[in-house]
Structures are given as C-alpha cells and as structure tokens.
A and B are shown apart, each in its own frame.
Chain A
Amino acid sequence: MSTPPAPPTPDPPATAPPVIALRGASFGYGDHAVVHDVDLTITAGEVVLVLGPNGSGKSTIAKGLFGLTDLLAGEVDVFGMPRADFRDFPRLGYVPQRHTLASSVTVTVSEVVSSGRLSRQSWLGIATRADRQQVRRALELVGLADRAGIDVGALSGGQQRRVLIARALAGEPDVLVMDEPTAGVDIASQHGLVEVLARLVAEGLTLVVVTHELAAFADLVTRVVVVDAGRIAFDGSRDEFVAAGSDVLHDHDWHHHLDRPDRRPAVISAEGPLSQGGSRE
C-alpha cells in the first residue's frame, strides 16, 4: 500500500483515563501472529470505529481484548491493569461476531439475554430483581421486549444480532466492544440501533465498533482506526479521517459516506425503528 500518513493520535482529554491501552501488542493463534505491533489507547467516552477489509485483523484485535486470541507480544491494559489480572469482567461488554443463535435446544430470548448478567451474579447463580429489571431494560433498548418469551431460533438474523447486543447491554458495561454489529441488519434497524447506542454513549458508555460498513455509525463516531494487513494504517479523529480521504483508504470509498451524507444509503423503510425493522409480523 502507499505510505500512510503518520498516524496522528488524537490527544485524549486530560481528565479521561484510558480504558483500553494496547502497547506494541501482537495477537494471533498459536504462534502465528495475525496482528502486529498495535498501539492503541482508548479513553472513556470515545466512540471508536475499527475499519478494515476482510481478513485485515480487526476482529483479532477485538478478541484479543478479551483474551480470545493469544497475546504474542506487547501489553494489553484494561481499565489500567494488565488484561491477565483484570477481574472486573462486567465492565467490558462484548458482542461477538456470530450469525446465528439457533441451537438444538429451545431457548427464549430472555434466557439468552439473562446470560449477560451471569458475571454480575454471586456464585450461587440466583437471579435477583435487579437482574430481571436489567434484562428487561436491555430488551426494551433493542426493541425486543415483546419477543422476550419467543424461541431465539424463530427470530430473523437481524433480530438475533439485536439479542446478542441486548445480552451485552444486560451486563451494564462501561466499555462495549461490538464485532460487526450491523452485518445482516437492515438499514432501518441499523439506525434504530445507532440511536440506542447514541443514548448510551451520552450516558457515558465507551464504544468500540469493529465493522466494514461505517455508514450507520457516521454521526456517532469520534475516532476512526483503520486496520490493514494486520497493522494500524490510520488512527485519527473523524474529521482527520475525512480529510485524509482516499490516501488512507486506497481502494475503499468509505470516506464518501462520512463526507457526503447524501451518499449514505437511503433509509428503506420509514416506519422501521428497531421494534419494527426486519421483523416478521
């Protein structure tokens, strides 16, 4: 690729502590590194979009934050402590990149979402009233409150993704890492989802979104990180990303979406906030 401009790391506000800090981190599987030498500091309140083509290593970085991929070199700090020592798991929410929740066992939506509360429960595993309230709130946030008792296997793919998001939200995370949250979700539902996330960000949620479709998040994002071939090719604020333009994204035209709102995909259905979009009647 052409020489990328020196990644200008945006100065974090002096007051906000870093919630995630990667220093020279390499992630991979076994001894095969997929992502090399990543330096990334995310402070509280940021909305970071991790962009990159398929196979560039975006998801590997996201999984590395949770120890799902092996850390081969460097350091990962979460909330100011090394990842290996990090025990306050509910603060870090994860929406994995999964296409289906269907299994050979009947499971209702609320049962899946309830499993997002497990890390906040005592070892006896008894659900308290607060747990149930939080589960209901998470389901309402993603617009699935009326489907709480339905078998997840009966939901559409987009609704299942929303169930995964609700499961992460049920744990009341301070930082939410989402891996391709919009894949397979129709445009109207994406907008509903972004609205929900915007409200949570306003309440202080830090958001890291791994995606290759940035249109949906264009209004929300404060910072863009581009990963290419296992390395960070760009790291800057939203405005810097727009200004950098096609030098960064040599063979992609993502910046158009940010640059020209008129080129964002049109909303297909006007009546489709989260509670409607993609649902069967």
Chain B
Amino acid sequence: MSEMLSIDFMQRALLAALLVGLSAPLVGVFLVQRRLALIGDGMGHVALAGVAVGVWLGQSPVWTALIGAVLAAIIVELIRTSGSAHGDVALAIIFYGGIAASVVIIGKSPNGTPASLTAYLFGAITTVTAADLWVFGVLTVVILLVVGVLRWRLFAVASDEEYARSAGLPVLALNLALAVLTAVTVVVSMRIVGLLLISALMIVPNAAAQLLGHSFRSSLAWAVAIGVACAVGGVAVSYAADTPSGGTIVLLAIGAFVVAAVGSAVRTRLGRVALAGHAEAEGHGHEHGPGCGHEAIQHGDHVDYVHDGHHHAPHGAHYDEHAAMATTLSTPPAPRSPTPPSTPSRPTDDRLRSAADPPTGRGRGLPRRDRRLRVRPRTPCPDARGGQLDRACHGLSLARRPRHRRRARRVAHRRRRGRLSAVLDRSPPPPRLPHVRTDRRGRRADGRDLGRAGGGRTRVPGRAAYRRDRRHLRHLLRAAA
C-alpha cells in the first residue's frame, strides 16, 4: 500500500480517480433522471476525435478533447431541443462521425497509430501527467460548483420540464449547462476511466444508489460515495492486478450495483405486510385510554388520542404519530364510545377478549394455564414496568415470572401465527417499501374484527411488529423522518 502511494504516477492516478469518482455520479444523476443514460457515451466518441486532433497537432489532447466534447454537447442539446423527427439520426451521425474521424486522423498523424487510442478508450493509470491533473482539478471544481448551485433547478427541469418552464426557469440554458457538464466530465475521465467507459461511471453508481437512498439527496450522496470508492479502489486494484483501470473501475461499480440490488431484494422479501408512514411519538410517559383526559378520535380502524395537537395511536409499547387531518369531511371527531359489551361464546374467543369485556373474575372458566394470560391493559397496575403493564405475568410471584413470560411469548406467537392468513390478506406494499408483518392488533386487513362475525372486540395481545421485521421499521422511520 505504502509502496503504491510512494510511486509518482500512482499518486496522480489516485487523485485523478478521486476527481472522476466525485464528478461523474453528480452529473450522471440528472442524465438518469432524464433517461439520457447513453448521451455520455456519444460525447466520449466526439471527445475521441478531439484527442486525435491533439495527437496530430502535437498539442495536449486534454484541451482538444474538451473543445470537441463541449462543442458536441451544445450541438447535441440544440438538436434534441428542436424536437426534430430526424434528431435521432443526426445524433448518430455526430457520434459515429466523431469516432470515425478520430481513427482516421490518428492514422494520419506522425506520432500515433490507431492502437495508441486504446489508452484513451479504456483508461490507463500510467498516463496521468501533472499538467492533466491541474486541468482535471479545475474542471472538477467547476462541476462541483455548478451542480451545487444549480442542482435543484436541474432537478426540476429533469423531473418535469413543462412545469419548470411554467415556473419561469431558463430551461434551455439549464439543459445546455447539463450537456456541457456532461462533456466536461467525459474529459475529466479520459485518462483513468476512458472515453468508452465513462458513461458507465455516470450511470451505474446512480443506479445502485437508487436502491440504497430514500430521497434524491441521500441517493446522490450514496452515488458519489460509490463512485469515489469504485474509482479509487479500481485504480488500486488495477495497479495490484495489472489490469486496465477503466474496465476495473466499471466492473467494480457493476459489482456494487449487484450487491445493492441483491441486498434490496432480500430486504423486500423478508416480510409481507407493508407498514407505511410510521412515526413514533417521542418520550411518551402517559398511557392513553378512555377518560384519560385526551380527546379520542376514530381514525380508520383505530382510535387516535389528541395530545397537544398531535394524534397518538397506541402501537405496541409506544404511540405512533398519526397526521392530524388537514380537513375533516362530514364526520366530526366522534368521542370514543365505550366498547359494546359482548357475550362470551367459545372459550377460545374468551381468551382473546380484552379487559373491556364485562368482568367475570380473573380468568374464570378458563384452563389454569390461560388465567395468567388474561389481558387487563387498562387497569392501573403496580406491576407496570416502565409505564407498560407486564401483562403475561401480572399477579404472579417474582420467582415464577421469567418462565411464564417465556411461555406467554410462545403462546402469543403461536396465536399470531394462527392468524397469519388473515394478516396476509391484503394488497402488496408499494414499490421500494419493505414488507413488515404486524398482527394488526387483532383486526383483519380490512379493519374488521377477527373471529365472530360482527361480534364484540376480539384482540390479539401482542401488538408490535414481528421482531425480525422490526429493522425494516427503522428504515421506514428514517424515511418518514
């Protein structure tokens, strides 16, 4: 490693890779958004003609490539904007004209053969000169500045051009700016990644980042991180394994994409039930219940309590923040009506009853084992641990609690598994949201009660999402925050 860093050309190559890794994904994200993923490839073709002219004239090929690519970018964008039916063909002529001209010119030049183009096409770490590095550095700073200032405007134009124009944004100028940025990125990459492969470094890190990020901002950060890691890592691997740098970098980037895709697919497969927009109320010491002093509002299939203007819904050991409705329609907030008394039917249902049912004595008429499973969530209880009632072991001696807690957990789990068919009875989650199973608080997916048709409230005691799905909740929480 230190040996690698001590070599002059490797220092330059690593620095150039850093610059490419920074700038390519930054520009590429807007190309991906506009479905112009291949435009960078075409500009590489034209830049190659510039390189050939530079070699022929004995000038620095970087400058001639820059001039060629920027000119091509402007022409290409103007053709695209004109919306001409033959625009496609015109672009093809420009791009292939560029690559054909480069081969012919280099063949005619005194100090070059078509074979000497290979280093420009696929990148080579030994070719970065100190002068190149200065040019690349300045160009990268320009790219970073322009993207930094214009990013939301470029974003707006790329996501909805019609709207951008209606909002008075200079759409043509922004499009031209993006085209020139692309051309400049192509040139920055010509030593390390190569003109044929740079398009990949603009696109692939962004494709991987879309699988990792939850917003435009965060996916852009991911893309830059992946781009830098692949470019610098690729140069290092290329030195160690003696491979062409461009191909190595792009293969690394594709590897990152595959890893991200597999990871995201696994994440999505793990669960089944989507739980979107889940936010937990912070620092909630108070336990809501009927007559707790907070207004209760029916919200879909459950009750929200209005707490200092927030809507809190009980969820497992915590309360969720539900959005206060911006407008209420015909139904005014109805205070929660007392749970209708239900008549016990079968013992199995009895087991699932909540404490709101008429008191029949603690677990009377149940098998001994199940008496301890009686749920009394709203009884003020000295056994409450950290504000939450230890339901399963309520009333048992301290010595017997651990065993019964374990057993209760097993029983509750079996019971939930038994209800799984009802739990799964819902539409699949929207794209990009993981499946998270919950027991739906004893309700079916459509909000109706489980068990007896139209009967009293039946509840499954456990309310939290399945433990192995909870980490997806963390992802969702982060997305919702």
Interface centre among B155, B215, B432 (most CB of A within 10 A): B215
A-side contacts of B309, CB under 8 Å = none
Q: How far is the CA of A271 from the CA of B334 in the complex (A)?
A: 11
Knowing A118-B156, A271-B331, the reply to whether A105 touches B163 (Cβ < 8 A) is no
Chain B residue total in the interface (Cβ 8 A) = 54
Q: Is the CB of A118 within 8 A of B153?
A: yes
A246-273 contacts to B (CB < 8 Å): 267, 270-273
Interface centre among B150, B162, B164 (most CB of A within 10 A): B162
B244-268 to A contact mask, C-beta < 8 Å, 1/0: 0000000000000000000000000
Q: Which residue from B150, B322, B429 sits with its C-beta under 8 Å from A146?
A: B322
Q: Is the CB of B430 within 8 A of A280?
A: yes
A92-135 to B contact mask, C-beta < 8 Å, 1/0: 10101010010111111001101110110001110100000000
For residue B427, which residue of chain A has the nearest CB? A280
Q: How far is the CA of A192 from the CA of B433 in the complex (A)?
A: 27
A153-184 to B contact mask, C-beta < 8 Å, 1/0: 11100000000000100010000000000000
Question: How far, in Å, is A37 (CB) from chain B's closest CB?
Answer: 24
Q: Is the CB of B330 within 8 A of A270?
A: yes
For residue B426, which residue of chain A has the nearest CB? A281
Question: How far, in Å, is A166 (CB) from chain B's closest CB?
Answer: 11
| B165-173, B337-345, B354-362 - interface stretch | B165-173
B290-332 to A contact mask, C-beta < 8 Å, 1/0: 0000000010100000000000000000000111011111110
| B27-35, B363-371, B396-404, B466-474 - interface stretch | B27-35
Q: Which residue from B163, B427, B431 sits with its C-beta under 8 Å from A154?
A: B431
Q: How far is the CA of A89 from the CA of B160 in the complex (A)?
A: 16
Interface centre among B168, B169, B321 (most CB of A within 10 A): B168
A77 within 8 A of B: no
Main secondary structure of the interface of A (DSSP, over half): loop
A-side contacts of B162, CB under 8 Å = 63, 68, 96, 98
B419 within 8 A of A: no
A56 within 8 A of B: no
A-side contacts of B140, CB under 8 Å = none
Interface centre among B32, B217, B277, B322 (most CB of A within 10 A): B277
Knowing A115-B155, A153-B431, the reply to whether A147 touches B277 (Cβ < 8 A) is yes
A142 within 8 A of B: yes
Knowing A149-B480, A267-B330, A275-B323, the reply to whether A105 touches B206 (Cβ < 8 A) is yes
Q: Is the CB of B216 within 8 A of A195?
A: no
Q: Which residue from A68, A146, A196, A272 sits with its C-beta under 8 Å from B277?
A: A146
A-side contacts of B149, CB under 8 Å = 123-125
Q: Which residue from A106, A141, A171, A195 sits with its C-beta under 8 Å from B432?
A: A106
B-side contacts of A192, CB under 8 Å = 326-327, 329
Knowing A106-B216, A106-B219, A106-B432, the reply to whether A274 touches B165 (Cβ < 8 A) is no
Knowing A271-B329, A280-B427, the reply to whether A104 touches B215 (Cβ < 8 A) is no
Q: Is the CB of B152 within 8 A of A150?
A: no
Question: How far, in Å, is B149 (CB) from chain A's closest CB?
Answer: 6
A140 within 8 A of B: yes
Q: Is the CB of B430 within 8 A of A105?
A: no
Q: Is the CB of B432 within 8 A of A153?
A: yes
Question: How far, in Å, is A13 (CB) from chain B's closest CB?
Answer: 28
Q: Is the CB of A273 within 8 A of B325?
A: yes
Q: Which residue from A108, A140, A280 sits with its C-beta under 8 Å from B326?
A: A140
A87 within 8 A of B: yes
Q: Is the CB of B151 within 8 A of A125?
A: yes
A-side contacts of B327, CB under 8 Å = 143, 192, 195-196, 273-275
Q: Is the CB of B167 within 8 A of A94?
A: yes
For residue A89, which residue of chain B has the nearest CB? B168
Q: How far is the CA of A98 from the CA of B321 in the complex (A)?
A: 31
A-side contacts of B206, CB under 8 Å = 105
Q: Is the CB of A280 within 8 A of B276?
A: yes
For residue A167, which residue of chain B has the nearest CB? B163
B-side contacts of A196, CB under 8 Å = 326-327
B-side contacts of A188, CB under 8 Å = 329
B415 within 8 A of A: no
Q: Which residue from A112, A273, A276 sits with its C-beta under 8 Å from B159?
A: A112
Q: How far is the CA of A103 from the CA of B159 in the complex (A)?
A: 7
B183 within 8 A of A: no
B-side contacts of A90, CB under 8 Å = 167
Question: How far, in Å, is B323 (CB) from chain A's closest CB?
Answer: 4
Q: Which residue from A118, A146, A272, A274 sits with its C-beta under 8 Å from B480?
A: A146
Q: How far is the CA of A115 from the CA of B217 in the complex (A)?
A: 13
Q: How far is the CA of A101 from the CA of B151 in the complex (A)?
A: 18
B279 within 8 A of A: yes
Q: Which residue from A89, A107, A274 sits with its C-beta under 8 Å from B215?
A: A107
A67 within 8 A of B: yes
A-side contacts of B279, CB under 8 Å = 146
Interface centre among A151, A171, A195 (most CB of B within 10 A): A151
Q: How far is the CA of A94 from the CA of B216 in the complex (A)?
A: 23
B-side contacts of A146, CB under 8 Å = 277, 279, 321-323, 480
Q: Is the CB of A96 within 8 A of B216?
A: no
Q: How far is the CA of A104 from the CA of B206 in the complex (A)?
A: 10
B-side contacts of A127, CB under 8 Å = 152
Q: Is the CB of B276 within 8 A of A154?
A: yes
B481 within 8 A of A: yes
Q: Is the CB of A105 within 8 A of B214?
A: no
A215 within 8 A of B: no
Q: How far is the CA of A155 from the CA of B206 in the complex (A)?
A: 22
Q: How far is the CA of A145 from the CA of B210 in the complex (A)?
A: 23
Q: Is the CB of A154 within 8 A of B214?
A: no
Knowing A105-B29, A106-B215, A106-B219, the reply to whether A143 touches B151 (Cβ < 8 A) is no
Besides A89-B168, A145-B326, 16 new A-B residue pairs in contact (Cβ under 8 A), listed by A number: A66-B165, A68-B162, A103-B33, A105-B216, A106-B213, A106-B214, A125-B149, A146-B321, A150-B277, A150-B479, A154-B276, A267-B330, A273-B325, A273-B329, A275-B323, A281-B300
- Top 5 closest A-B pairs, CB basis? A89-B168, A146-B323, A154-B430, A66-B166, A94-B166
List 23 A–B pairs whose Cβ atoms lie within 8 Å, in order of A's numbering: A68-B165, A89-B166, A92-B166, A103-B159, A105-B159, A105-B206, A105-B219, A111-B155, A118-B152, A118-B153, A125-B151, A125-B152, A125-B153, A151-B214, A151-B215, A153-B432, A155-B430, A191-B329, A195-B327, A195-B329, A196-B327, A270-B331, A274-B325
Residues of B at under 8 Å CB distance from A?
A: 29, 32-33, 35, 149-153, 155-156, 159-160, 162-169, 206, 210, 213-217, 219, 274, 276-277, 279, 298, 300, 321-323, 325-331, 427, 429-433, 479-481
